[in-house]
């Protein structure tokens, strides 16, 4: 079963320097039908003006990863980490027992466009940690590349939850099929471009909750970048 959330129904936040679209309830945007899916809680599609950003603020007990689509994102945190995240990089910050961080546009001339995604961890008060890895275009071209997993398989980043995240690039005749086990859910987010998922046309910003599906086929893309979340079959209250 596919449950499609169209991009234009997402929450909107415009702070001048920050323009954000919220797939799930976040901040001042609340939709009782959009409070997450399984262990996935936040997908924010953020665009930050040159030289602007989020000042130092705290998090705890959340797995937070950033996926840059355009530009560069500068990160600093209370663990002593300082880094710049660019397209192809995946950053994972496990907040655990508590961490503070800041995120700023690393350019004084161009905006940065990135996704920030939150996953609820399976354990609380774990030690905070930071990870970052670069995945090339070739890694994702015409296929689904594992980028996040519980065990760090295939150079993926480790997440403290039974979640696996894949990234893929599809254009023209490129296609790939993901076999979803019978006891798993999936969530698909179209980061940019257009693509068909099992024959259904999806566009940038669209999202799909997937239940009771065996195979997910991506095809006929138009400069498309997708994220696929392989999730526990866990239902939030009111979401069955």
Describe the chain by its helix, strand, coil percentages, rounded to 5. 5, 55, 40
Q: Is residue 240 part of a domain?
A: no
Number of structural domains in the chain: 1
Write out the residue range of the structural domain in which residue 6 sits: 2-231
| Local structure of residue 143 (DSSP, 8 states) | S
pLDDT higher than threshold 70 for residue 237: no
- Domain-located, residue 196: yes
Residue 238 forms part of a structural domain: no
Alpha helix segments (H runs only) across the chain: 137-140
pLDDT of residue 235: 87
Domain annotation covers residue 225: yes
We report the CATH number of the domain holding residue 155 as 2.60.120.10
DSSP assignment of 33-47, as one string? T-S-BTTEEEEEEEE
The reply to whether 237 falls in a domain is no
pTM beyond 0.85: yes
Tokens of 162: 């039974």
Tell me: the pLDDT tens digits for 108-124? 999 999 999 999 999 99
Q: Over 80: is that where the pLDDT of 80 sits?
A: yes
Confidence of residue 236 (pLDDT cuts 50, 70, 90): confident
**Is there a domain that residue 35 lies in?**
yes
76 domain residue, yes or no: yes
The continuous run of DSSP H or E covering 100 comes out as: strand 99-105
Compute the mean pLDDT over every residue in the chain, rounded to the nearest whole number. Answer: 95
Average pLDDT over residues 32-39: 94
Is 236 part of any domain? Answer: no
User: How far apart (Å, rounded) are the C-alpha atoms in residues 187 and 230?
Assistant: 7
Q: Say whether pLDDT at 30 is over 70.
A: yes
């Amino acid at each position: 079963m596919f449950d499609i959330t169209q991009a234009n129904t997402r929450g909107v936040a415009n702070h001048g320097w920050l323009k954000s679209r919220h797939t799930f309830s976040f901040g001042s945007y609340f939709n009782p039908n959009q409070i997450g899916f399984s262990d996935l809680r936040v997908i924010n599609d953020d665009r930050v003006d040159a030289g602007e950003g989020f000042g130092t603020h705290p998090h705890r007990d959340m797995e937070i990863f950033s996926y840059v689509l355009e530009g560069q994102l500068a990160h600093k945190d209370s663990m002593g980490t300082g880094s710049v995240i660019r397209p192809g990089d995946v950053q994972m910050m496990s907040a655990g027992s508590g961490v503070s961080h800041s995120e700023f546009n690393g350019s004084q001339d161009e905006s940065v466009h990135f996704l920030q995604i939150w996953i609820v961890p399976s354990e609380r008060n774990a030690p905070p940690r930071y990870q970052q890895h670069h995945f090339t275009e070739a890694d994702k071209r015409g296929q689904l590349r594992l980028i996040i997993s519980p065990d760090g398989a295939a150079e993926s980043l480790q997440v403290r939850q039974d979640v696996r995240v894949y990234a893929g690039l599809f254009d023209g005749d490129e296609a790939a099929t993901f076999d979803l086990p019978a006891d798993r859910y999936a969530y698909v987010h179209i980061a940019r471009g257009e693509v068909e998922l099992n024959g259904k046309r999806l566009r940038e910003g669209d999202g799909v909750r997937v239940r009771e599906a065996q195979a997910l086929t991506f095809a006929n893309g138009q400069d498309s970048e997708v994220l696929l979340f392989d999730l526990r079959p866990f239902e939030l209250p009111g979401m069955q």
